[in-house]
Structure 1
């Protein structure tokens, strides 16, 4: 599948999606959001893809925000549809994807860019990264999940300060407050992402998919995360990965998990 605003490269079961609008600092417009949705959906359905890395092209920005020119003159109704559709197509979609997604934040991750990084399952950053939600400086609030995911990651007080001041934090502060897991040089960022992806791939991706679902359930209103954990735990007992994992443990050898995407579509 060919795309206009993103690049997709797959190697050794790791797929890298690169948002490729460097002249716009990789800002998210409608077409890019749709292309990202299509790419994530296709990779999640692909048996050969075990982990997805998401990054931005160039050395200045992961994603510098949403493309404001697209919605500067929207009505109240159009604004609501914009947020709802964006969350459905991309941000919620990525968060609930069963294939692990690592955001490799290079440079600026602002507004919709930070919201996209937060939708990934976890984040690493280059030491020149800057992150923030500057929407209130434009007379609007974060609309792609920022008011929900940022407090979950950094706590209510820190999130309120970041949103209200519209300020940016650097990579080290982001790590200190739990927004990113690791900080490295720009040159080593993708190498680190691939190293972590390789560690993930040694484990049961069937079990990881269930774990993602259980962890996310804790943050859903009206859902008992413990019950989801119990259900997903039980489901694991019916998988070939469970049989292989327990057998390998008892035989004192490394497991060779069969994996597969049948669990993805159950």
Structure 2
């Protein structure tokens, strides 16, 4: 595992055309704005690289896939513009996944919270372990999952999204996430999941690339307005994070 205390994002492209994008941050793979920017850029690059056939999105470690936004950075936001710019980082990652011409497979090895759920939802196909519980905790800290809501609702539907959002302090199981459509496959442990990912990506890399691109377009039909929509949602979150309620809630979470 990387020992970079600022976190990192890496990209490797194998001979068979599998592009693996991996992110890491010591705070449970949370995502500050710098990592969000790198992640969006690497997803975009892998999508247009002629060697890439399929993209695998993963994080390092074996406990948490992604803890969502960086609370430390959220506390540093002092004005609406800075807030909108921070949350637009998640918007840019989701839109990079949406607009990539390559199929994106997500590997979710552990718990995923907030924006991490949005990352899983932005993938085209998602494999997870039984430890990959999910939670949208935004209401508990005075904001809402506004930026990621189009991606999550598209996958699991409005009733399940409502449950996940309103039950802001409760984790839902990986099996729940599979039943609702966020995860496509759930495995007992990481080795079994990785074996399934290897077999799946090998098959996909052998398929006709134009057929995969055509499938990608079909999967994302009706989302053409997301460039504007997600940035509008980012502005809402960026304003709410400035509230006294949210600032105190964030401090409380960091003290735990």
**TM-score, normalised relative to structure 1:** 0.75
Return 5+ residue gaps in structure 2 as ranges. Answer: 1-5, 227-256
> Which residue of structure 1 aligns with residue 184 of structure 2?
181
Equivalences for residues 160-199 of structure 1 within 5 A: 160-166=162-168, 167-184=170-187, 185-199=189-203
Structure 2 CA distance for partners of 1:80 and 1:34, relative to 1, 3 Å: closer
Tell me the distance in 2 between the aligned counterparts of 1:18 and 1:81. 23
Deviation for aligned residue 1:220: 4.2
> What SS does the aligned partner of 1:136 have?
helix
Q: 2:109 aligns with which of 106, 111, 118?
A: 106
The 5 Å alignment of 1:1-40 reads 5-11=8-14, 12-21=16-25, 23-40=26-43
Matches within 5 A, 1:92-131: 92-131=95-134
Report the Cα distance in structure 1 between the residues aligned to 2:44 and 2:81, rounded to whole angstroms.
28
User: CA, structure 1 residues 6+84, in 2 after alignment: closer, same or farther (shift >3 Å)?
Assistant: closer
Deviation per CA, 1:115-141: give whole Å up to 9, x if none: 111111121101111112111111001
**C-alpha distance in 2 between matches for 1:142 and 1:112:** 8
Task: Check whether the contact 2:68–2:116 (CA below 8 A) recurs between aligned residues.
Answer: yes
Aligned partner of 1:69 in structure 2 is 72
Q: 8 Å contact 1:130–1:171 — kept in the other structure? A: yes
Aligned to 1:218: 222
Give the Å deviation of 1:4.
5.7
Aligned to 1:242: none
Whether the aligned pair in 2 keeps the contact of 1:44 and 1:99 (CA below 8 Å) is yes
Distance in 1 (alpha carbons) for counterparts of 2:209 and 2:55: 12
Match of 2:154 in 1: 152
Match of 2:139 in 1: 136
Secondary structure of 1:84 counterpart: helix
Q: Deviations over 1:77-134 (max 9, x none)?
A: 432333234313x111112211111010011111111111111112110111111211
- Higher relative contact order, chain-length normalized (CA < 8 Å, sep 6+): 2
In structure 1, runs of 5+ residues without a counterpart are 223-266
TM-score, normalising length: structure 2: 0.78
Bigger radius of gyration, 1 or 2?
1
Secondary structure, counterpart of 1:15 in structure 2 = strand
Partner of 1:209: 213
Give distance in 2, aligned partners of 1:85 and 1:61.
20
Question: Which residue matches 1:246?
Answer: none
